């Protein structure tokens, strides 16, 4: 095992209750994901707080988390994490194997989501691939290339996680009140890398 592989492997948290996550190092190639996450369940109320804490270094205080409504169990629109309110925004059109955390200053990080029931060796291989500094593979290619069984549907292919400056990306916001999808334009900030 190389020194770089050892360093990255140490980023995977395995202590009960801590997120199993591995992120690309600063200065990595822009791609579809900024790292990988292997939650223990599909319960957002249990899993999102640990992810939000783990992504603080990449995006600062997380204000919103976007996820696929078909992959995850229902959750209230707002979670309180360490005394701060974080909005949970579910989309049917978002790739089921990704979660995006958005910071207070609109910086965003998208992580590959490895299904909870994935065998350890397969999940860790997918996390390493997602966090490889040269990785620009699609979510589907990372999942398939590492033997992860996509037992949940993927809605549409994800777009690259970090848009170019000035690029307008339409977002959909799911509203619990009336179950309506609202379109909004959003100009993402530069990535921290």
What percent of the chain shows pLDDT beyond 70?
A: 69
pLDDT-based confidence at 164, cuts 50/70/90?
very low
Q: How many CB atoms lie within 10 A of CB 141?
A: 13
Domain of 19 in residue numbering reads as 3-176
pTM (2 d.p.): 0.72
Three-class SS state of 60 = coil
Cβ pair 33, 130 in contact under 8 A: yes
**Closest among 108, 117, 115 to 154, alpha carbons compared:** 115
Please check whether residue 191 lies inside any domain of the structure: no
**116-123 own/partner pairs: CB under 8 Å, 24+ apart:** 116/38, 116/39, 116/40, 116/41, 116/42, 117/151, 118/38, 118/148, 118/149, 122/146, 122/147, 122/148, 123/20, 123/38, 123/148
Number of domains present in the structure of the chain:
1
Side-chain half-sphere of 127: how many Cα atoms within 13 Å? 26
Average of pLDDT values for 4-8? 37
Q: How many residues does the chain have?
A: 193
| pLDDT tens-digit readout, 94-142 | 999 999 999 999 999 999 999 999 999 999 999 999 999 999 999 999 9
Please check whether residue 138 lies inside any domain of the structure: yes
Higher per-residue confidence, 121 vs 11: 121
Please check whether residue 24 lies inside any domain of the structure: yes
Q: How many CB atoms lie within 10 A of CB 163?
A: 18
Higher per-residue confidence, 127 vs 155: 127
Distance (Å, whole) CA 160 – CA 156: 13
**Closest among 130, 132, 109 to 51, alpha carbons compared:** 109
Residue 157, pLDDT score: 39
Please check whether residue 16 lies inside any domain of the structure: yes
Please check whether residue 185 lies inside any domain of the structure: no
Distance (Å, whole) CA 163 – CA 171: 13
- Average per-residue pLDDT for the chain: 78
Side-chain half-sphere of 192: how many Cα atoms within 13 Å? 19
Residue 77 DSSP class: S
Residue 158 has pLDDT above 70, yes or no: no
pLDDT-based confidence at 17, cuts 50/70/90?
low
Q: What share of the chain is helix, strand, coil (3-state, %, to 5)?
A: 20, 25, 50
Cβ pair 104, 63 in contact under 8 A: yes
Average of pLDDT values for 83-100? 97
Cβ pair 106, 76 in contact under 8 A: no
Residue 10 has pLDDT above 50, yes or no: no
Average of pLDDT values for 3-15? 37
Please check whether residue 151 lies inside any domain of the structure: yes
Please check whether residue 167 lies inside any domain of the structure: yes
Please check whether residue 56 lies inside any domain of the structure: yes
Residue 18, pLDDT score: 77
């Amino acid at each position: 095992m190389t020194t770089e592989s050892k360093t990255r492997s140490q980023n995977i948290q395995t202590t009960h209750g801590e997120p199993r996550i591995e992120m690309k190092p600063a200065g990595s190639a822009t791609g579809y994901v900024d790292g990988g996450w292997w939650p223990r369940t599909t319960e957002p109320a249990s899993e999102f707080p640990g992810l939000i804490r783990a992504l603080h270094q990449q995006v600062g205080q997380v204000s919103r988390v976007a996820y696929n409504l078909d992959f995850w169990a229902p959750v209230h629109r707002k979670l309180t994490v360490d005394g701060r309110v974080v909005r949970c925004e579910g989309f049917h059109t978002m790739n089921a194997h990704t979660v995006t955390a958005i910071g207070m200053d609109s910086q965003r990080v998208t992580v590959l989501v490895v299904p909870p029931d994935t065998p350890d060796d397969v999940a860790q291989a997918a996390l390493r691939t997602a966090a490889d500094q040269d990785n620009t593979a699609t979510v589907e290619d990372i999942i398939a290339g590492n033997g992860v069984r996509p037992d949940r549907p993927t809605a549409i292919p994800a777009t690259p996680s970090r848009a170019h400056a000035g690029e307008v990306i339409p977002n959909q916001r799911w509203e619990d009140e009336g179950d309506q999808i609202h379109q909004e334009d959003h100009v993402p900030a530069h990535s921290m890398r």
